[in-house]
Amino acid sequence: MSDTLTTERLLIEKLSPGDSEFILALLNTPGWLKFIGDRNIKTLSDAEAYVQRTIDSPTIQYWVVKKAADSTPAGVVSFIKKDYLDHHDIGYAFHPDFSNLGYAYEAVKAVLEELSKNPLYPVILATVAPDNEPSIRLLEKLGLKREHQLEVEGRTLLLFSLVNLR
């Protein structure tokens, strides 16, 4: 996948060390803490280390979603091969200042369209907390189908899937 995708309103760029301040802010928003979990990233130094670990991981891809008009970071889209899943998991999180503006749909749709070109990803999965109604609605709008519940580290998650119909 290319390092940068563009949509009408967004730039979607691979995570870089320069994104550490935004990552620090995003990982400490109420939505991240409630639905994704506390990553114990409390300082800029913690965020810089987290960003570097993410960049260095062969199983994780992160893109920072920025407003095209002024490059203000709004959120992230992730693509992770998790041990407990047979296929990669697409995820997303947006700062509350950029919620309900359609950015998540626009960004995730662009990433999914790009990933669908790669035969290595015949199925793309997503997991979501059962009480995260906005994310469930977004996954359904993007065409992912609810499969079943699973238990992961004491948490119940809903599993969604998208079969690549290239």
CATH value at residue 84 = 3.40.630.30
Q: What percent of the chain has pLDDT over 70?
A: 98
Contact between 21 and 47 (Cβ < 8 Å): yes
Distances (CA, A) of 142 to 35, 118, 136: 19, 18, 10
Domain presence at residue 158: no
Domain presence at residue 148: no
- In 15-144, at which residue ranges do the beta strands (DSSP E only) sit? 60-67, 73-80, 89-94, 123-128
Give the pLDDT score at 164: 75
Q: Per-residue confidence at 1, pLDDT binned at 50, 70, 90?
A: low
| Residue 57 reports pLDDT greater than 90 | yes
Phi, psi of 112 (to 5 degrees): -60, -40
Q: Would you call 50 helix, strand, or coil by DSSP?
A: helix
Give the pLDDT confidence of 108-132 residue by residue, as tens digits.
999 999 999 888 999 999 999 999 9
Domain presence at residue 31: yes
Give the pLDDT confidence of 45-56 residue by residue, as tens digits.
999 999 999 999
Distances (CA, A) of 44 to 31, 49, 66, 72, 107: 20, 9, 20, 18, 26
Domain presence at residue 38: yes
Q: How many domains does the chain have?
A: 1
Give the pLDDT score at 158: 97
Domain presence at residue 37: yes
Task: Report the alpha-carbon distance of residue 150 to residue 157 in Å, rounded.
Answer: 5
Question: By residue range, what is the domain housing residue 112?
Answer: 4-122
The residue-averaged pLDDT of 48-75 equals: 97
Arithmetic mean of pLDDT over the chain: 94
In the chain, % helix, strand, coil (3-state, to 5) comes to 35, 30, 35
Domain presence at residue 165: no
Domain presence at residue 65: yes
Distances (CA, A) of 76 to 11, 61, 95: 11, 10, 9
Q: Per-residue confidence at 33, pLDDT binned at 50, 70, 90?
A: very high
| Residue 2 reports pLDDT greater than 80 | no
Task: Report the alpha-carbon distance of residue 12 to residue 110 in Å, rounded.
Answer: 9
Domain presence at residue 151: no
Q: Per-residue confidence at 3, pLDDT binned at 50, 70, 90?
A: confident
Give the pLDDT confidence of 83-96 residue by residue, as tens digits.
999 999 999 999 99
Furthest C-alpha separation in the chain: 43
